[in-house]
């Protein structure tokens, strides 16, 4: 079992198996100075699947404890996790979309090419202004990506909507 250690709002490992198996082959996390850092979303996903364990000091954290840590830092953590898990389970590579003003950037398989989609996660009961949608679509269009809205309903089902410019 690969061990990661909690460090603020992420986890890290220096284990070469983590770097080779999770980063090089499956594109999880970010490699910084010989350490593999995972977001709480990535860590929760991998703990839930039995691929890693996360420790806070010597104490092993459960999936629920990781979820609670995520909720403390992000009110949309549950919705983002459901979308993250759904996309990973479908075989996509999912990375942060923060620099593009969205929650995720998504790659078809691996990371040999540029990401194809920017995904913005919203609970079903969210209120949106036309300006919110326009701004995100404009950014996606400007970086040659498709804007996807991932709507999470009360039953934890995810529905994806592609939002794009249309020229008449």
Rounded to whole angstroms, the Cα distance separating 81 from 44 reads 8
Q: Which of 25, 60, 114, 141 is catalytic?
A: 114
> Catalytic site residue 141?
no
Active-site position among 45, 81, 84, 107: 107
Residue 160 has phi, psi (to 5 degrees) of: -105, 135
Which pair of tokens denotes residue 2? 């690969």
Q: How far is CA 22 from the centre of its chain?
A: 15
Crossing angle, helix 63-73 and helix 40-48, to 10 degrees? 160
Q: Alpha-carbon distance 71 to 143, whole Å? A: 30
DSSP code of residue 29: S
Q: Residue 71 burial by CB count (10 A; 0-12/13-18/19+): exposed, middle or buried?
A: middle
| 114 among known catalytic residues | yes
Q: Is 5 a catalytic residue?
A: no
- Catalytic pick among 80, 81, 103, 145: 145
Please give the Cα distance from 15 to 67 (Å, whole number).
Answer: 24
**What residues are annotated to the active site?**
107, 114, 145
């Amino acid at each position: 079992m690969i061990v990661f250690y909690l460090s603020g709002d992420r986890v890290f490992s220096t284990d070469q198996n983590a770097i080779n198996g999770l980063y090089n082959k499956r594109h999880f996390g970010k490699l910084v100075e010989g350490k593999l850092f995972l977001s709480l979303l990535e860590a929760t996903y991998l703990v839930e699947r039995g691929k890693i364990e996360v420790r806070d000091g010597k104490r092993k954290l459960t999936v629920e404890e990781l979820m609670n840590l995520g909720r403390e830092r992000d009110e949309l953590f549950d919705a983002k996790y459901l979308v993250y898990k759904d996309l990973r389970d479908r075989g996509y590579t999912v990375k942060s979309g923060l620099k593009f003003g969205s929650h995720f950037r998504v790659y078809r398989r691996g990371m040999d090419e540029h990401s194809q989609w920017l995904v913005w996660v919203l609970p079903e009961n969210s209120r949106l202004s036309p300006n919110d949608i326009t701004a995100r679509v404009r950014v996606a269009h400007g970086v040659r990506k498709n804007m996807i809205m991932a709507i999470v309903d009360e039953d934890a089902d995810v529905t994806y909507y592609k939002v794009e410019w249309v020229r008449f």
